[in-house]
């Protein structure tokens, strides 16, 4: 059981998976009683006490990252979309993970080089996205402040830990979520933690991980040449009047389409005709880029899984006083984080994660048996993770599922540096 978990290194695999299984779990609201750890005895939910919640969420609606090529057909991203609704204003301070000054953001500097028609920069959170995040915060408030008295009605740093990628749209999305979650908060500041781009693990760090960069290099372009994807891309480009020579793939098309739809804008009248095809092929492109082997998924999301796993282990560790662990962990991430996370948990539905979507992980303890259970939600709906007998999953089984793809920092850096070491050795051989 759980005591055995502490005696082994959880990043080690518990079984051999020859391929990733993508399972669709569309379950309705759970019954009052759910199956227990071995599928034999029902668990009385009235005896379950909520101990911890982890929420992993994507930022709200934003402008596209790369505009489509025909300037005359581009929509106008008017700077009025950047107006901040008064309800979403919230006093926050951004620091690094140790409480120091906010790190420099090279990605934000890159985005500001792309000025869209209408005056906005690429990738900017809009007031539509701000309201989406505020609504997510209100839902969390209803679930964990109003329906059950789990969290204090005002922000308590002893209860809540907040971390975001160091990208402005995510920091702003986090602020809006906190405004919805803690509307009675009148004093601050509240700390949002972030990390240097070189060591960030809340998204696939292609720049810092040599092995990951080597695996992905060229695969996005190669995906557009794969049978099926290639023919469909040609058909969509012709339908939209985009030249075959323009560097536009399904990911760029989906990014623009999703951004426009979220704001009621339309660049191409025929775009709606290809909505489902564009999303399907964008997902296929990402799956091809990341391939289907275990190590690729580990390098993409393994370090972040380690964070989530470590939070669970600290919460159930009897050696750690209850007051020394947080009740709520908030992580502001990206679609490129959520897709591999859903794959690792076995709940990916082959649909692109929309703006402001969340994965919520609840940890419960049974007050009589003292057993621990996990409840997983995606888009507000209960899920059955891979390896779990039901929606209420025994913690040890859930940890086994996570451990297949989890990477602790030491193992992650070892795997990331392997390609770099091999390249150095090859260069040395050439010199000899």
Mark whether 59 is an active-site residue. yes
Task: Report the C-alpha gap between 231 and 110 in whole angstroms.
Answer: 32
143 C-beta neighbours (distance < 10 Å), count:
20
Q: Which residues does residue 42 pair with via DSSP β-bridges, in sequence order?
A: 35
Long-range contact pairs involving 286-294 (C-beta distance under 8 Å, separation at least 24) = 286/251, 286/336, 286/339, 288/219, 288/222, 288/223, 288/226, 288/229, 289/216, 289/219, 289/220, 289/223, 290/216, 290/340, 291/215, 291/219, 292/19, 292/20, 294/13, 294/17, 294/20, 294/404, 294/405
Catalytic entry in 249, 255, 335, 358? 335
Mark whether 263 is an active-site residue. no
177 C-beta neighbours (distance < 10 Å), count:
33
Report the candidate in 227, 239, 228 with the shortest Cα–Cα distance to residue 274: 239
CA 337 to chain centre: 4
Task: Report the C-alpha gap between 317 and 337 in whole angstroms.
Answer: 28
Report the candidate in 57, 51, 27, 31 with the shortest Cα–Cα distance to residue 139: 57
Helix 250-262 and helix 275-290, axial crossing angle in degrees, nearest 10:
130
Catalytic entry in 25, 59, 263, 306? 59
- Token code pair at residue 119: 């005056």
Catalytic (active-site) positions: 59, 335
């Amino acid at each position: 059981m759980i005591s055995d978990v502490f005696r082994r290194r959880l990043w080690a695999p518990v079984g051999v998976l020859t391929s990733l299984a993508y399972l669709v779990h569309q379950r309705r609201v759970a019954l009052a009683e759910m199956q227990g750890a071995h599928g034999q005895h029902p668990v009385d939910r009235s005896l379950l006490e909520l101990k911890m919640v982890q929420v992993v969420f994507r930022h709200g609606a934003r402008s596209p990252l790369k505009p489509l090529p025909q300037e005359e057909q581009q929509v106008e991203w008017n700077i009025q979309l950047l107006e901040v609704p008064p309800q979403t204003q919230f006093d926050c301070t951004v620091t690094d993970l140790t409480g120091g000054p906010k790190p420099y953001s090279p990605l934000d500097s890159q985005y500001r080089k792309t000025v869209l028609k209408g005056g906005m920069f690429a990738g900017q959170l809009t007031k539509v996205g701000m309201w989406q995040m505020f609504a997510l915060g209100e839902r969390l408030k209803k679930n964990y402040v109003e329906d059950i008295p789990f969290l204090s009605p005002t922000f308590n740093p002893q209860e809540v830990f907040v971390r975001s990628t160091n990208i402005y749209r995510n920091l702003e999305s986090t602020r809006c979520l906190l405004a919805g979650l803690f509307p009675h908060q009148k004093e601050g500041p509240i700390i949002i933690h972030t990390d240097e781009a070189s060591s960030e693990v809340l998204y696939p760090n292609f720049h810092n991980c040599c092995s990951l960069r080597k695996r992905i290099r060229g695969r996005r372009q190669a995906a557009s040449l794969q049978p099926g994807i290639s023919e469909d891309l040609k058909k969509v480009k012709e339908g939209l009047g985009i030249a075959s020579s323009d560097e536009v793939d399904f990911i760029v098309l989906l990014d623009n389409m999703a951004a426009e739809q979220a704001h009621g804008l339309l660049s191409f009248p025929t775009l709606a005709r290809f909505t489902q095809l564009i999303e399907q092929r964008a997902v296929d492109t990402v799956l091809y880029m990341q391939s289907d082997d275990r190590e690729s998924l580990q390098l993409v999301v393994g370090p972040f899984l380690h964070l989530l796993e470590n939070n669970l282990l600290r919460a159930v560790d009897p050696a750690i006083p209850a007051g020394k662990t947080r009740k709520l962990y908030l992580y502001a991430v990206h679609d490129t984080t959520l897709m591999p996370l859903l794959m690792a948990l076995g709940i990916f539905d082959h649909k692109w994660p929309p703006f402001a979507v969340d994965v919520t992980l609840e940890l419960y303890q049974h007050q009589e048996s003292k057993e621990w259970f996990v409840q997983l939600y995606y888009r507000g709906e209960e899920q059955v993770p891979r390896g779990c007998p039901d929606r209420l999953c025994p913690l040890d089984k859930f940890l086994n599922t996570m451990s297949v793809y989890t990477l602790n920092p030491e193992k992650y850096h070892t795997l990331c540096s392997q390609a770099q070491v091999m390249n150095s050795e090859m260069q040395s051989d050439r010199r000899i």
